[in-house]
Amino acid sequence: MPNIPVTTWSLEQTSETDLLPAEAPQGDVKIIRSEVPSPEFSRFLYTSVGGDILWTDLLGWTYAQWQAHLTRPGVETWVAYDHGTPAGYVELTPQDDGVVEIEHFGLIPAFRGKRIGGHLLAYGTARAWDLADRWPGLVPTKRVWLHTCSKDGEHAMANYQRRGFKLFDTKVEEEAVVTTPGPWPGAYPA
């Protein structure tokens, strides 16, 4: 299989005041924390959001691996719903010394371009900054970071920067070309 160069950009906020708000989208959009760890639901979100942009890292995870990840103290999944339908999500993962990674963020393709992404990112980032308030024993957040890559949506980097994230690292690596996994064969081809 041929390889392609993939650029990965890492971005961060080092103060809660770095977060820039986004305008709330029109309509019936709600963001709700998924408080019961559910490997089935998390895998649905992962494949539905990442299928057309080649998220493949977790496709081989077993149920037990999903469960172990989701039940770690401080891991949170916040889901955006548009008229009651899941539209996208943000997953927060605490790390050492008050660092929180926005490990997964994105919208299901049918909901892109409706101004939900900026709102969800701002809301999820705010939840990263106050994560320790909901999880006794966690160190208060000192830094929130995430990464995006050249396989992600064309507006991803601009959205992160509009929310106040600053670039701190860039890497280019060769990756094998992977066919679109999608939530099912043929869904949202790239």
DSSP 37-53: --HHHHHHHHHHHHGGG
Question: What CATH number has the domain spanning 3-176?
Answer: 3.40.630.30
What's the mean pLDDT when you consider all of the chain?
A: 92
Amino acid at position 123, single letter:
Y
> Half-sphere exposure (CA, 13 Å, Cβ side) for 63?
2
Classify 50 in phi/psi space as left (phi over 0), alpha (psi -120 to 50) or beta.
alpha
pLDDT in tens, 103-130: 999 999 999 999 999 999 999 999 999 9
Confidence of residue 154 (pLDDT cuts 50, 70, 90): confident
**pLDDT tens across 46-83, in order?**
999 988 887 888 888 999 999 999 999 999 999 999 99
Listed by start position, the domains of the chain span: 3-176
pLDDT at 2: 82
